Structures are given as structure tokens and as C-alpha cells.
Structure 1
Amino acid sequence: MRWDGAPAERRRGGAAAMPDPSAAQFSARERFDGAVRAAGPGLADILWRVVCAGEGLGPAERALGWPSRAGKLVLGLALDRVADWYRVG
């Protein structure tokens, strides 16, 4: 997993501003941790498995011991909370 920050903006003359890599990585990690915290306990599990680990919804439900189709509802709630945290939508 990469913790790079957002792409550098181009300055006048075409040269890209080079941010401090450690600060950019720290900032990206803080944003990620904040998004997971915003999802909340119980919702972050399915969010992590599906969004971050790339696990399918069915296998994630089985691994968590949830009934079929419960993951879709819970993942939707988690994504709504993350969108609110990022102020999207």
C-alpha cells in the first residue's frame, strides 16, 4: 500500500512542486486513519475487506459470519460515513 500524498500541483513554468515525502506520507496515513475512524466500529470491518483488501462482498460476509446480503447494506452505511468525512456529496 502506498501512502503518497495528493499529486503535486504544477507551478508557473511547468516545474512540479516536490513535497517532503515523509510529510506527504504522514498526511496520507492520517487521512486514511480518519476515514476508517469515520466509518466506525462494526462498519470498518467490511469497509476494509472490500475496499482496501479487494475482497468480494460474498467472501467478506462469510468471513465476518454475516448473513447473505447484509454486507451490501453495511458497506453502504460505511461508505456514506466516509463520504461525509471527506465532505463528498
Structure 2
Amino acid sequence: LLVFALTYLISKPIRLSYEDAAPTAIIAGSNHFEVAVAVAITVFGLSSGAALATVVGVLTEVPFMLFLVWLCRKTRGFFYQPQLQYADNDAEGVSN
């Protein structure tokens, strides 16, 4: 949560758009549970408590990450929104 919060908050002063800030913060805050499961099984064995604890950790990550996505969507308006540039339709070569 700390890494997510720091990354998400730092994204605002450096003028990242929401489309860049949200995935950056979620990826930065994501723990690499898959690697932890593989290491625990390799080091301690499949029937160890460490392997069980890392598998349960993966299961708790899903609701937590869904909460972070919800939080990002609720705070979308706080971020820099670049002005879109539209082409002028009066340019030569445009036919109706």
C-alpha cells in the first residue's frame, strides 16, 4: 500500500495523466506473489507452512488490487488531463 500511495501521489506533481498514473501505481504496488510461491515451494517443499502462507497471500491480493482499481477510478479527476487537439475540417482535400 505504501509503494502504491507514494507512486500515485508523486504522479500528480510530475503531471502524469490518469491513464499513465493509475497503471504505474498499481504495477509499482503489486507484490510478486507468484515468485514468492515458487521460492517457498522450492525451498521449503510443497507441504510446508511457508508454501501454504504464500498461496493464501495470493488469494488476499485480488480483493486488495480491486480496491486499488476502485480508488484510482474515484480519483480520476485529480490528475492532469491533456487538451485534445482536433484537426481543422476546413483544410483542403476534405470532401463532404
> TM tier, shorter chain?
0.3 to 0.5
TM-score by length of 1: 0.35
Bigger radius of gyration, 1 or 2? 2
TM-score by length of 2: 0.34
| Larger RCO: 1 or 2 (CA < 8 Å, sep 6+) | 2
Q: Which has the higher helix share?
A: 2
